[in-house]
Amino acid sequence: MRKDDTSASRRQVMGAMALGVAGSAATAQAASGSGQAAGAVTSATKRNPVNKYPKPPFPRQPQSAPGLASEMTPRPDHGEKSYRGSGRLAGRKALITGGDSGIGRAAAIAYAREGADVAIGYLPVEESDAREVIALIRAEGRKAVAVPGDIRTEAFCQEMVRKAVRELGGLDILVNNAGQQKSVDALADVTSEQFDSTFKTNVYAPFWITKAALPHLSEGSAIIITASVQAYDPGASLFDYAQTKAANVAFAKSLAKQLGPKGIRVNAVAPGPFWTPLQPSGGQPQDKLTQFGGDTPLGRPGQPAEIAPLYVTLASAETSYSSGQVFGASGGTGTD
């Protein structure tokens, strides 16, 4: 859901390689469950990633923040029709912030199809997108909880966690994903109001939410935070956003050391350019939006459906020795 344009770190690349192995195993398991021989090579698994999704140029499409996926052209793929689960999160209970659209929506759909009950947090103005996600979760026979509100206030963060725990009957996966990004060319034009709002959304809220969630998390639980390659290679026009994403990386690494002895894992995902409402609603200038993702080796932005498997794998027991790590998906931009 973020602009996040250039290189990932060596740790990100190695992490993505490790997750690719786990993802291959899951693909084989899903294929076996559908009557296809495990490990069989299909046209889907061999599809060229360069041509899998739309490439720029894209039309100009300004939206007011926070933006809606339903108003984007082309509409993002969150895995609504493509994601196939295999029971990897059966019986789990997850809270995902920013779950109405973008990466959070893709994670919510994937979690439900992997057998988890899911609560999503979102802003009230995103209700139309959120209703679609709630319907998709329930279509899988899973419990869905909608929690609209503004995470820039500590009181709402606490109430969101309470409602999720109460209605899900517990909590063992927390995805701090909601974010604010606004492109501003000159430091002189970054207002204190914007700076404060970006930090409240991207740094304060994960702190408040995680602090409220910790009493409900036990051994085997997982916390995931959405960082960004901006943490490693900040863009000139994302002065405040890049700083918050660096804080998200430190969040995962520090908290993993605190919670490791309790059997709770903490990791971060650092996306590159992904096609989400964050971009047309101020995350990119419209002239840059038309070419968004075109400077990556794959020549296009990522779609939320393409990163959801990382969130599934990090929440599952398959990655039980991975904690305090940052996993990237940036379209082939490589290492620092």
| pLDDT number for residue 44 | 56
Q: Above pLDDT 70, what percent of the chain? A: 86
Quote the CA–CA distance of 233 and 230 in Å, as a whole number: 5
**Which sequence positions are flagged as catalytic?**
241
Query: 310 in a domain, yes or no?
Result: yes
**pLDDT of 234-246, one tens digit each?**
999 999 999 999 9
**pLDDT of 14-24, one tens digit each?**
444 344 434 44
Q: How many CB atoms are located within 10 Å of the residue 90 CB?
A: 10
Please give the tally of structural domains in the chain: 1
Query: 6 in a domain, yes or no?
Result: no
Residue 268 bridge partners (DSSP): 225, 326
Query: 179 in a domain, yes or no?
Result: yes
Residue 171 in tokens: 């909590």
Query: 30 in a domain, yes or no?
Result: no
The per-residue DSSP string of 278-298 comes to TIIIIIS-HHHHTTTTTTSTT
Residue (of 125, 130, 72, 124) closest to 101 by Cα position:
130
CATH number of the domain within which 138 lies: 3.40.50.720
Query: 201 in a domain, yes or no?
Result: yes
Query: 290 in a domain, yes or no?
Result: yes
Instruction: Please give the mean pLDDT across all residues of the chain.
Output: 88
| pLDDT number for residue 151 | 98
Domain extent for 205:
87-329
Listed in sequence order, the residues at least 6 apart from 147 whose beta carbon sits closer than 8 Å to its beta carbon are 119, 120, 121, 122, 159, 160, 163, 164
78 burial via Cβ count (<10 Å: 0-12, 13-18, 19+): buried
| Full-model pTM | 0.86
Beta strands in the chain (DSSP E): 93-97, 117-122, 144-148, 173-176, 222-226, 265-271, 326-329
| pLDDT number for residue 8 | 38
**pLDDT of 250-301, one tens digit each?**
999 999 999 999 999 999 999 999 989 888 888 888 889 999 989 999 999 9
User: Can you give the length of the chain in residues?
Assistant: 336
Query: 35 in a domain, yes or no?
Result: no
| pLDDT number for residue 67 | 86
43, pLDDT greater than 60: no
Query: 80 in a domain, yes or no?
Result: no
- Reported confidence tier of residue 169, pLDDT bands at 50, 70, 90: very high
